[in-house]
Amino acid sequence: MAYVKNEVPVFGTTFFDGAMARKGYGLNKMCYTFNEASAREEFFKDEMAYCDRFGLTEAQKKAVHDRDVLKLIEEGGNIYYLAKFAGLLGMNMQDIGALQTGMSLEAFKQKLVDAGR
């Protein structure tokens, strides 16, 4: 089986590999819990205590506090789990896509329409 070298295939993207999965394990585990309403409520009662429960690093906790989804990706967050966190913030995948491309939400949506998606 061929393995992909840790090369960034698209400029500006974060390569999510095994090392990133290990780095973001606690963060992704925490985001998975947001499937449950009780977990979302507990998170909003004391966000940093909730982060500590999953062993988030200081950089991850700062990104959570700052609502910086792109930084969370850099810190090992898997986009599918981070979608749960983004949902807490009233964001969806198109909002994240706009952030990743540096486009306005409206321009990003139009780009999707133009591409037939």
CATH topology of domain 18-92: Protocatechuate 4,5-dioxygenase; Chain A (1.10.700)
Average pLDDT of the chain, as a whole number: 90
Q: Which pLDDT score, from 0 to 100, does residue 30 have? A: 98
Two tokens at 67? 């609502």
Q: Which pLDDT score, from 0 to 100, does residue 90 have? A: 93
Q: Which pLDDT score, from 0 to 100, does residue 39 have? A: 98
Cβ neighbours of 23 (radius 10 Å): 19
Q: Which pLDDT score, from 0 to 100, does residue 1 have? A: 43
Cβ neighbours of 103 (radius 10 Å): 14
Q: Which pLDDT score, from 0 to 100, does residue 43 have? A: 98
Every domain of the chain and the residues it spans: 18-92
* pLDDT-flagged residues of the chain (< 70): 1-12
Q: Is the separation of the CB atoms in 69 and 82 below 8 Å?
A: yes
